[in-house]
Structure 1
């Protein structure tokens, strides 16, 4: 049986690798053909373009790992079935569950790689990928909230700016409120606020501070005041892709920080976090479905199995995208949104596996 295990495991991993090597260059070629005009128009340096496509490779390989694996398993298992090799294996007294073991070993290896990639390497690639995209390809697209920004900085402090310019780290109509318990202790107003990076301070124009103490109000007014406040203005409205660029530990701290601030993007961040775990699980589910579907020799040959596999893959992507968008843009539970496709396809995997055993 070790010979059978090694034979299937090698085919599993080599076919998956060949699928990646085949489709990633195609993806790069299509992407380059679509964006080459903007790259030339915006005079993107060759070194940055090269770095972008390295990041592109890691970013999309991580994103499409389960689907590449699914199609590769259908491909080589269908070949085994058409050559009646599977019939020979099972006729020798090997149970279907035992036949499935090398597939699950291969899925474990790929899932471990996907987990490490998603936790640590993909965030680095996402940073470079998105920075290039918004620098050269979507120069005028807004990636941060810039109007009526309201944030809770910590348990006691709240700030507000009516408009915010990330590039210059400035805001208009600034308000800062400090509470102790439910009691407002002081409130700061300014027509304009600017972050001074040199000494990590803030310059407030038309500064007014109202302090409430023992039932009295003390008012301080100055034309300009440089002071230190417990936040960075650029951190008040993280870019849309902020969660994608953080390793798992950083992401957990980031979500907790944004939750305290009352961020309205928590659903989006939670989806990113949960997908780091759901993607490796989907590798096992799709592997079982692929084996169950393609292990039977059919009259139409591999074409029928591949067509069925592609249909399942499209449905999986549809569910994944639809529920992901619902969680990001509404109060829909991120846990349900991320795990629902795996639950549905997990049930399908069990059903198909039982039929395949029979």
Structure 2
């Protein structure tokens, strides 16, 4: 039987006083570290849980089991602390799971759709999470390569643009792919490009954004992996517009991994290859774990602000597609149409002219292009006159 480690009562400034009714007892076993929670887990006591998990990780624990048999109460603040503890453990290359939850705690987990992360082998309704596979982050059976563990440790540094670029490049190398992108969901099936390692991956992501269809939007919508070993073999009716452009793409194999917890959709991790072919089971597991870690990163930071976690195309502190939003607003005002219709007109013009949506948007913002109600432009690059101000 392992030794019990008591945590001290020192707290950083600003942390609420810890309730004497709550305890987090640690016991190190041969195969796992068990943390038994006693009492009430809420805003006033969550710091004790996070402190205990942090100490476990510092001393090399990789498999953490949180026993809730003696937990008498848990609110949303407590649940967020459990999710934060899970994210920290996964980012360190380990796994964390809950055992013996009470009926009320189980109900809270089910209501929030977080069962796929916190209750191993069960989704929000007690079943296998949709789109997960044995060994995926949703099951708690996290078996990853040593190289992916290094990627996750690098991800923890959070040192801004340079670190994000190194993480993305290292992740692509580890997964054995030619390119990697990470996009964050901004509503519906739309997503903003945050990381991009090469031109082929960026062009494919931009095309999906322009057309509004493809494996990425499908992964965001369904919450399931979309694995396409050869784009040329996809049925034309699955993504009609994309299938017409597939022959001209450098990306031949595309694999999309949804980022999210339960019903929460955060974004999508996409990896591409220039030649057709499958990912190995190990590469799929590594990609799933990376997507899970990126989910934690996104939920734990201000998104989609540039908070040192993004790799933008133009400036270190703006979204890659910020110019698209600006152009959409301008078209909306110019044509007196809703923003959704304005974006559709921008997409239509980009597709018909064979140019990326971001390039079209830059022309609109620079007043080199003005669209009409049919999505047609002024037909040349002559700057439009700027009306005099009163």
Mark yes or no: TM-score above 0.5: no
Normalising to structure 1: TM-score of the pair?
A: 0.22
Normalising to structure 2: TM-score of the pair?
A: 0.20
Higher helix fraction (1 or 2): 1
Query: Relative contact order, CA 8 A, sep 6+: which one is greater?
Result: 1
Find the structure with the greater CA-based Rg: 1
